[in-house]
């Protein structure tokens, strides 16, 4: 028992920022900046296949999470361009790849356990409301430091994908990036499907407390998660590709 107590004290004392408040209180509001990295698996057939190697293999997006004890809002930050494009040509054919910046706002009502997502797909805005259910997290017993905060790992399976989340009890808000939550602390790092999508905290603002920014999205056509998935699947099928759940939508245009 003595060894365990000394270890816990060492972890607490070595963590900077908000973690130092453990002696008197826990943080329940603030702002976290995240970076998302998504692997792009692009297959091109026909005359444009020669350009496949010159196209990017990953997409990077800057995000921000605002939160307090009642609500959280995750969205693109002010500097995110929202859309990246790359063009290649050989004098006869132009290949343009547009990577959607997944213009998504994810609002979480932590009191009512409701999640509202505002998604822009193919210039159309959708509003998806669902209940938050996170009962299947399993603690692994693994620990690491993320952005200076001592974190614990929890894992779960979601649609055959393994999700690993690292949360810190030093920030006692059951929320996280991209609609993840349900753990006894804020999630600072997420690894989806063995690195196909990684979301990690890069900076924090412990002084932020602007509740005016924590506004529930209201614009868009109201649909269920199943209805939105069907809309995306049908559109992507029309374009001759498959929808990768949770990933970036890649549109390739070929101009002769």
Condensed to tens digits (0 to 9), the pLDDT of residues 48-97 reads 666 666 677 778 889 999 999 999 999 998 655 544 444 444 444 455 55
Q: Are 221 and 126 in contact (CB under 8 A)?
A: yes
The model's pTM is 0.77
Detail the DSSP E strand segments found in 40-177: 58-67, 71-76, 83-89, 94-100, 104-109, 114-121, 124-131, 138-146, 149-158, 161-168
- The percentage of residues in the chain with a pLDDT greater than 70, rounded to a whole number, is 67
- SS3 sequence of 97-134: EEEECCCEEEEEECCCCEEEEEEEECCEEEEEEEECCC
Type and span of the H or E element at 227: helix 225-238
Q: How far is CA 234 from the centre of its chain?
A: 24
Find the largest Cα–Cα distance for the chain.
74
Q: Any idea which residue has 């026909």 for tokens?
A: 46
Q: Any idea which residue has 């690195």 for tokens?
A: 195
**Per-residue pLDDT for 223 more than 70?**
yes
Structure token digits, residue 238: 């029309």
Residue-level pLDDT at 149 = 94
């Amino acid at each position: 028992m003595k060894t365990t107590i000394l270890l816990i004290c060492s972890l607490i004392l070595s963590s900077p920022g908000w973690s130092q408040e453990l002696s008197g209180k826990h943080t329940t509001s603030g702002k976290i900046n995240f970076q998302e990295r998504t692997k792009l698996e692009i297959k091109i057939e026909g005359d444009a296949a020669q350009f496949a190697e010159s196209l990017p293999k990953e997409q990077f997006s800057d995000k921000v999470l605002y939160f307090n004890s009642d609500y959280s809002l995750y969205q693109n930050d002010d500097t995110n361009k929202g859309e990246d494009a790359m063009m290649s040509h050989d004098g006869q054919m132009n290949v343009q790849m547009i990577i959607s910046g997944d213009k998504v706002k994810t609002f979480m009502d932590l009191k009512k356990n409701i999640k509202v997502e505002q998604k822009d797909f193919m210039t159309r805005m959708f509003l998806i409301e669902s209940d938050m259910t996170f009962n299947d997290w399993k603690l692994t017993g693994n620990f690491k430091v993320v952005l200076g905060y001592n974190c614990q790992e929890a894992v779960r399976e979601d649609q055959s994908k393994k999700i690993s989340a690292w949360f810190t009890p030093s920030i006692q808000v059951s929320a996280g990036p991209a609609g993840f939550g349900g753990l006894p602390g804020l999630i600072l790092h997420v690894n989806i499907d063995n690195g196909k999508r990684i979301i990690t905290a890069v900076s924090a603002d412990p002084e932020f407390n602007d509740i005016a920014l924590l506004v529930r999205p209201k614009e868009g056509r109201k649909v269920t998660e199943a209805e939105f998935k069907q809309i995306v699947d049908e559109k992507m099928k029309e374009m001759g590709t498959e929808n990768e759940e949770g990933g970036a939508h890649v549109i390739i245009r070929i101009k002769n």
